[in-house]
Homo-oligomer: A and B are copies of this chain.
Amino acid sequence: MSAEPQPARRPGGRTRLISKRLWAATLEILAEKGVDGLQYEDLAARAQVARATVYRRWPNRGDLFRDILARFAEAFVPLHDSGDIHDDLVAFVYAFAEASATPEGRAVLQILMRKADESDGLREVALELLERRTDDLQRRLDAAAALGQLPAVDARFVNMMLAGPVQWFLVRRTRPFTRDDADKVVGVVLAGLRHGDAV
């Protein structure tokens, strides 16, 4: 940033302002046009910065997409262990729904839908991110199993059963996904895991 004019006057102030404007422009474009609409020219124009500034921040679109994924990950809440597996999963599912309904969340889904070879390994970054969440979930499910609250279950399967319906709902977006919706999804899946014999 030493090439920026008057860098010492408000230390970090101008950088922060530019960051803020660039991020606002990114979210605006994501909401309007999706991942494929993210063009540096448009970003620079909307954020009212030079195109070189955009390139300095994100030397290539892969860097920009990685930032979007990181923001999506930040919106997740940690998976708690309150002792009540139902409540903990409702919080987990609801937080996922909230994060997925944002422009970043929709962008992640669009990235996952692209062909692997056109995404600079981004699909893999997104999948790794979800994989880490699956590890958290496995620990929580194992703790519940150790207490006899559930049979031993595979977190990847359970995550598909919980997050799949949320994604299905959000893609159709006739109304927001509520905590009550999360409660119903978790209720059916937990009862099914306890009483089904197919898993």
Contact B168–A164 (Cβ < 8 Å): yes
- Tell me, in angstroms, the Cα distance from A32 to B169 when the chains sit together: 27
A56 smallest CB distance to B (angstroms): 29
Contact A195–B191 (Cβ < 8 Å): yes
Contact B189–A188 (Cβ < 8 Å): yes
Contact B161–A185 (Cβ < 8 Å): yes
Assess A184 versus B172: contact at CB under 8 Å? Given A115-B32, A161-B165: no
A71 smallest CB distance to B (angstroms): 19
Interface residues of A: mostly helix, strand, loop or mixed? helix
**How would residues 140 to 183 of chain A score, 1 for a CB under 8 Å from any chain B CB and 0 otherwise?**
00000000000000000100110111111101100000000001
Contact B198–A183 (Cβ < 8 Å): yes
Residues in chain B near residue A157, CB distance under 8 A: 184
Residue in chain B with minimal CB distance to A187: B198
A101 at the interface (CB under 8 A from B): no
A123 smallest CB distance to B (angstroms): 9
**How would residues 34 to 61 of chain A score, 1 for a CB under 8 Å from any chain B CB and 0 otherwise?**
1010000000000000000000000000
Contact B164–A184 (Cβ < 8 Å): no
Which segment of A7-15, A19-27, A106-114 sits at the interface?
A: A106-114
Contact B113–A106 (Cβ < 8 Å): yes
Contact A195–B198 (Cβ < 8 Å): no
Using CB atoms and an 8 Å cutoff, list the residues of chain A in contact with chain B.
Answer: 32, 34, 36, 106, 109-110, 112-115, 127, 130, 157, 160-161, 163-169, 171-172, 183-199
- 18 contacts across the A-B interface (CB closer than 8 A): A32-B115, A34-B113, A110-B113, A112-B172, A161-B161, A167-B167, A167-B171, A187-B192, A187-B198, A187-B199, A188-B198, A191-B191, A191-B192, A191-B195, A191-B196, A192-B193, A192-B195, A192-B196
4 nearest CB pairs, A to B: A187-B198, A192-B192, A164-B168, A191-B196
